[in-house]
Every structure is written in structure tokens, then in C-alpha cells.
A and B are shown apart, each in its own frame.
With several copies, the nearest count.
Chain A
């Protein structure tokens, strides 16, 4: 339990509103302090893009898992124990030499929490949400990703109950690597589709 809220008196308008809301929810019996603590703890320490990276690495080394992942992303996540809110239904879309995929939620910020965690601020912000459906190549270039001419590009706008994850291509020069080492190459951005794994990189 982080409990950091117990140690600082609210000062900013956001802190004051948050404390007031928590007070009312507690008084009404609609939430408990330890339940909030538990959720925060999960997202700070367990739920994050390392989960998705493990699934990607498994798909790279295990063709049968890859097929299960592409057939039903939520079931493939559950094999690792990942699942729940904002991940009840997951679709995995696969990059190939001919096709690149990128994910967005233009209306809000839908994102597969159980396997990627809390989305980064840029994913939730107007520039990304407005632009990537309309000018995805310009957006990918801003992320440093220039697709070869002729690559087809698919943008997935998560507008309903289905959440998306990109299965990137296994990079060249990784033949001798273990599944764990491979997972270390898979960044959050690779699974959103704004980056691709590099053999020399280390995932944040």
C-alpha cells in the first residue's frame, strides 16, 4: 500500500477535489481506503507493458501460442494470468513485411490495461488521437518510424469494447536470444504500433 495520500495535506485544486470525492465515497460506503490502495498498487507494480511484452516474445518462439494469440487475445493473455477490466476482449493484429498496424482511441483513450497498463499521456492527448487516423505516416515519422514505401498501413480505432495490441515482427539478429531476452526488446510503443523492436534496444 503506497498510502502517500495519508501523508500530505491536499493543496492543489485537483488534490482538494480528489480528497472531497474520496471522503464522500467512503462516507457513503461506496469504496474502501484499502481497495483504492490495492488498485493503485496493482497498476504501479504489476500491470504494465511487461505483460504484453511477455506475450509477444512467447508468440515469437511458440507458433501455437502465436495462433492462439491471433485467434483470441484475451484468452491468450489469461494463459499468463492477465485479464480483467479494459481487457475482457482483446484483438491482436500482426505486423508483416507488407503490413503495419497502429492503435488509437479517437473518442477517449481505450487501451488494453491488463497487458499494457496505464496508457502514456501522449496516447490520451488530442494531438495523437486527432492525427493518427488521418495522417498516420506523419505521426509514425514523428516517432522515428519510417515505413518502407509500399507498406500497407492499418489504423485500429478502439471505439467499442474490443481492445487492440500489435504483434510486431521479431527483429533480425535475435536468433540466439531466450524468450526473456526477446521480451526485453518489446517496448510499449511497439505494441501500440508507433515503434518496432530493434535487436540492440532495451525496453523501458
Chain B
């Protein structure tokens, strides 16, 4: 989708603001959100739920506010919980009820396994259409759903730099309730001069794209 999250090449966002000695989490609630997200599974549309926040809301809220909005929406849409449960909990919290405590060694173990090296399943898919060095063009048309193809590349000419083993295309996975469609994907190289008509020295941009995003 053509959302405010698709920032590559956009102008008017000003200077980069840095912070010295930044902690992992600036507030305890940020850590809770991070921990809840990694230690649970509330649905397949994590990123797409962020992208549907609303453009101005997205641009004027923080990273972990994006996560919070995503988990709330994703969880309701996937059926992990209901909006009514969320509203009731919010009312309880506002009235001073403490967050319940649940201790469960298995949930801990699962979460920590995710944070350690682990083998990943392989995926079967049709053989890749493109080979190293092939010239390709990025698909021009925007889809209404989640896409891992940044808008600044639409219609641009590039060259296949690497061919990767099949992985489920996230465009489908996020938008269609977790449907797994394995597909070849590629690292594609672009010349900045093919993307923008800007002055100054050129550079190269490398982007990982699934076969869906590319035309021969």
C-alpha cells in the first residue's frame, strides 16, 4: 500500500536527530511491548497493521507506539482477542486494577528459543525466473496491501546481484492471514541515477525483492 511508512527517497523530514548513550528502551512500557511481541503470537499482519495506522498518526508517533497499535489491531483482526476484551482491560487498568501475573516456564523457554540460533524450515518453490546479472524492471503498479517493494523503485531498471533460496513472500503472508507462498527472491542493484534526477555523485542501492516485484 501507498502508506506514510514507505519513506525511501521522500523529502521534507529534516535532519537526523541522534541521542548519546541511548538505552534499549526509553521507558519501561517500551520494554513490555517489545517483550509481549516477541513472547507471543497475536497474528500474521504485524507490519501491515502498522501501515494501516493512518498516515499522520504514523508520522507523529514513536516506534513502540507503532508496535502497540499493531498488536492491538492484529490481535483483534486475527481473533487472538476481541476489542471488547481490550476495552474492558483498559477500563480496569484505568480504575487501578493491577496487570495479572502469570508464570509459565514453557512460554519463557519458547521466547528464549526465538532469541537463540535455530534452524529454519526450507521452502519449496518453482525455480527462479532470473539469474545473476539479469536486467530486470521493478513492477510499476502499487498493490493495495502490504508490500515489501518500496515505492521509490517502481518501474526502475536494476540488475540481479544475488539469487536466494525460496522464502514465503511477505506481501501475501501479511495481507492474507498468514498464507505461505514460497517464492524465489533476489538482491537487486540499482544506480541512483536511474531512480532520481538529483545533482551530485551517483551511488548504488541494493534491495531484496521477491519475484512478484520484478519483470523481465
Question: What residues make up the interface of A, taking CB atoms closer than 8 Å to B?
Answer: 2, 4-6, 8-10, 12, 14-40, 42-44, 47-48, 74, 77-78, 81-85, 88, 104, 106-109, 114, 117-118, 120-122, 124-131, 133-137, 139, 142-143, 152-162, 204
- Given A19-B99, A48-B24, A106-B152 in contact, is the A136-B203 Cβ separation under 8 Å? yes
Q: State whether A39 touches B72 (Cβ < 8 A).
A: no
Interface pair A15/B103, CB less than 8 Å apart: no
Whether B177 is near chain A, meaning CB under 8 Å from some CB there, is no
Inter-chain CA distance A85–B152, complex, in Å, is 28
Instruction: Give complex CA distance A117, B115 in Å.
Output: 11
Whether a CB of chain A sits under 8 angstroms from the CB of B47 is yes
Chosen A-B contacts, 9 in total, with CB atoms closer than 8 Å, are A5-B28, A21-B75, A107-B6, A125-B63, A127-B15, A127-B17, A154-B205, A155-B204, A157-B208
- What is the interface size of chain B, counting residues whose CB is below 8 A from a CB of the partner? 102
Question: Given the complex, which residues of A lie within 8 Å of B208, measured CB to CB?
Answer: 157-162
Q: Whose C-beta in chain B lies nearest to the C-beta of A9?
A: B96
Closest A residue to B113 using CB positions: A84
Bound form: Cα–Cα A40–B181 in Å: 33
Q: Are B41 and A30 in contact (CB under 8 A)?
A: yes
Checking B6, B8, B111, B115 against A134 with a beta-carbon cut-off of 8 angstroms, the contacting residue is: B8
- Cβ–Cβ contact B19 & A4, under 8 A: no
CA distance A120 to B16 in the complex (A): 11
Known: A122-B16, A142-B15. A38 touches B108 (CB 8 A): yes
Nearest to B142 among chain A residues (CB) is A134
Q: Is B11 an interface residue (CB 8 A)?
A: yes
Asked if B203 and A153 make an inter-chain contact with CB atoms under 8 angstroms apart, the answer reads yes
Partner of A44, one of B25, B148, B200, B205: B25
Contact, CB under 8 Å: A162 / B29: no
- Residues facing A in B1-30 (CB within 8 A) are 5-11, 13-29
B149 interface residue (CB < 8 Å to A) = yes
Contact B110 A20 (CB under 8 A): no
A154 to chain B, nearest CB (A): 5
Are A156 and B36 closer than 8 Å at their CB atoms? no
A159:B209 contact, CB within 8 angstroms = yes
Query: Is A152 touching B203 in the complex (CB atoms < 8 A)?
Result: yes
Determine the chain B residues whose CB is within 8 A of the CB of A24 once the complex forms: 75, 81, 85-86, 89
- With a cutoff of 8 Å between Cβ atoms, the chain B residues found around residue A135 in the complex are 198, 200
B180 at the interface (CB under 8 A from A): no
Q: Is the CB of B39 within 8 A of A35?
A: yes
Contact residues in B for A109 (Cβ distance below 8 Å): 63
Which one of A22, A42, A84, A106 contacts B118 once the chains associate, using CB atoms below 8 Å? A84
Binary interface encoding of chain B residues 166-182 relative to chain A, with 1 for a CB under 8 A from any of its CBs, else 0: 01001000000000000
- CB pair A125–B5 under 8 Å, yes or no, is no
Residue numbers in B under 8 Å from A81 (CB-CB)? 116-117
Query: Among A5, A42, A44, A117, which residue has its beta carbon within 8 angstroms of that of B32?
Result: A5
The CA of A154 and the CA of B202, in the complex, are separated in Å by: 10
Which residue among A38, A47, A128, A130 has the maximum number of chain B CB atoms within 10 Å of its CB? A130
Contacting pair B24 A44 (CB below 8 A): yes
Task: Verify B25–A27 contact, CB threshold 8 A.
Answer: no
**Contact of B192 with A by CB under 8 A:** yes
Separation in Å of the B73 CB from the closest CB of chain A? 11
Check A121/B117 contact, CB under 8 A, given A24-B81, A126-B13, A154-B203: no
Residues in B whose Cβ lies below 8 Å from that of A31:
36, 39-40, 102, 107
Q: Are B7 and A204 in contact (CB under 8 A)?
A: no
A30→B22 contact, CB < 8 A: no
Cβ–Cβ contact B40 & A5, under 8 A: no
B129 at the interface (CB under 8 A from A): no
